[in-house]
Structure 1
Amino acid sequence: MDITTSPHHITPQKIIFRATLDILPLCAAVTPWGILCGSLAIQIGLTALQAQLLSLMVFAGAAQLAATSLLGAGVSYSPIFSSTFVISSRHLLYSAVFQKYIKDLSLPHRLCFAFFLTDEMFALTSAYIEKHKSFNYLYAISTGIVFYLMWNIATFAGIVVGNNITNFDALGLEFAIAATFIAIVIPSIKSSPILISVLTSGITVLVLELFEFSFSLIASTVMGMLAGYFTQLKGLKNES
């Protein structure tokens, strides 16, 4: 499989440039989130180096925030690992979607893809596939690398802020988490099955959170997928 050129013979440089332009708005949206991660890491007692290494080596967004918060609360490692696993479980779905595209690539290429795979990379690469009817590894990995760099820059800014501002929580930057996911999801709603899937997932997770269900994220994801699948299946039957 060619990992550097598109089916339309666009140069690698243009692919990287296009990927960078596409990911920059999401980088801007997630910047407050990264700042929050860096600041929180400092506030719970990590050194600046430890806080930066957390983003450099873990690169997990919501799971990283949750782990940092639990670590600051003095929680043991077992709940931290289980919580981050549940939060990151959606990546099992992401990897399943892309498995057919990267299965023939070398192990280093697949490991690199797995490390940089995020919600943002998934959304943009899926949109690219839908538009061009073809997967492009260079486009996908370029969005991931640019996002990784911006995430770590934001973390560094948070480390600096965390050392100098005491009332950082009052800024309300945690809303960046919700804003980022909204920015990812809304543009993808282009059909009834997707709309039903999004609404079902949203309503399900809200209801389950009211009952403090531990696996609300996974359950709502499965419910959304099933709702979207059966809605699409019903539509196909009506057309036949």
Structure 2
Amino acid sequence: MNIAIKKGLLDMLPLNLAVLPWGILCGSLAIQNGFSALEAQLMSLLVFAGSAQLVAIELMAKGASMITLVITTFIISARHLLYGLAIRNNMIDKPLKWRGPIAFFLTDELFAFSHHHRAYQGKLRLIYALVAGGSFYLAWNLWTLFGIVAGQFLPDLTNLGLDFAIAAIFIALVVPGVSNLPVFCACLVSGVTMLYFKWIEFEFGLVAAALLGMSTGYVLQAKEDKS
């Protein structure tokens, strides 16, 4: 058990540190948009979804309607439904005491550790997942707290380019998973079309680019499986 705990902590440590600018940005942005320190911290404690939190903060600050807030954050977080489906076969026979916490901790970062065919199989692997996911949760809330404090005493931190941490983390998570041509083409199509949609200022460009990328990967994988 000690080995699983130690490995979970060490494996997640680089991502715990890499998310520091993102957490600080989230905390400071909330403060600068009129959130109280308690509200900003509770968002990270209860929502625990970096990109959705940043968008929600911006929308709430601009007075967006509740329906706009719900739909937008749902679209942004919809990928977690796919994460759940991807590990479903490994988790379906586990008691709720395991499934509940792992579902809560199933971020992009933890999912990156879930590709091994024996992931979540056996008590030690479940402990490993909980420790890795739990350590990321603690780090995210700690960095959010730093951002809350900084946001009250320092000038606008959004001008420091901290949002680059978001792109950097996702690049680090995606690149190791590009192991075959269908996945590579899916990433390429998503990236190129997203740039195009951004250029023409298409409001739902992120969603459309993701769907095009997934469709490309699915079609190519299907052809590869038949051959």
TM-score of the pair, normalised by structure 1: 0.86
Read off the aligned partner of 1:92 and give its amino acid letter: L
Q: What is the CA–CA distance in structure 2 between the aligned matches of 1:133 and 1:19, rounded to whole Å?
A: 12
Q: What is the CA–CA distance in structure 2 between the aligned matches of 1:62 and 1:48, rounded to whole Å?
A: 19
Structure 1, residues 92-139: CA drift from partner, whole Å, max 9, x if none?
Answer: 11111011111112233222121111000101222xx15x57743222
Look up the SS of the partner of 1:139 in the other structure. helix
Asked if 1:193 is matched to 2:201, the reply is no
Note if contact 1:89-1:218 (Cα within 8 Å) is conserved in structure 2.
no
Asked if 1:70 is matched to 2:54, the reply is no
Read off the aligned partner of 1:228 and give its amino acid letter: G
The one of 214, 220, 224 equivalent to 2:209 is: 220
1:63 Cα offset (Å): 0.2
The one of 152, 159, 162 equivalent to 2:141 is: 152
1:191 Cα offset (Å): 1.6
The one of 81, 88, 111 equivalent to 1:99 is: 88
Asked if 1:182 is matched to 2:140, the reply is no
Q: What is the CA–CA distance in structure 2 between the aligned matches of 1:80 and 1:115, rounded to whole Å?
A: 21
Q: How many residues align?
A: 224
Corresponding residue of 2:50 = 61
Pair 1:91–1:215, CA change in 2 (3 A): farther
Corresponding residue of 1:8 = none
Corresponding residue of 1:9 = none
The one of 128, 135, 156 equivalent to 1:139 is: 128
Note if contact 1:23-1:143 (Cα within 8 Å) is conserved in structure 2.
yes
TM-score of the pair, normalised by structure 2: 0.91
Pair 1:35–1:122, CA change in 2 (3 A): same
Read off the aligned partner of 1:116 and give its amino acid letter: F
After TM superposition, list the pairs within 5 Å mapping 1:15-94 onto structure 2.
15-94=4-83
Read off the aligned partner of 2:37 and give its amino acid letter: A
> Which stretch has the larger CA shift, 229-238 or 12-21?
229-238
Corresponding residue of 1:169 = 158
Q: What is the CA–CA distance in structure 1 between the aligned matches of 2:63 and 2:177, rounded to whole Å?
A: 39
Structure 1 unmatched ranges of 5 or more: 1-11
1:175 Cα offset (Å): 0.8
Note if contact 2:90-2:120 (Cα within 8 Å) is conserved in structure 1.
no
Look up the SS of the partner of 2:97 in the other structure. helix
What is the CA RMSD across the aligned residues, in angstroms? Answer: 1.8
1:214 Cα offset (Å): 4.2
Look up the SS of the partner of 1:125 in the other structure. coil
Pair 1:153–1:134, CA change in 2 (3 A): closer
Identity of aligned residues (%): 46
Q: What is the CA–CA distance in structure 2 between the aligned matches of 1:166 and 1:188, rounded to whole Å?
A: 38
Q: What is the CA–CA distance in structure 2 between the aligned matches of 1:134 and 1:68, rounded to whole Å?
A: 34
Asked if 1:118 is matched to 2:110, the reply is no
Q: What is the CA–CA distance in structure 1 between the aligned matches of 2:105 and 2:42, rounded to whole Å?
A: 16
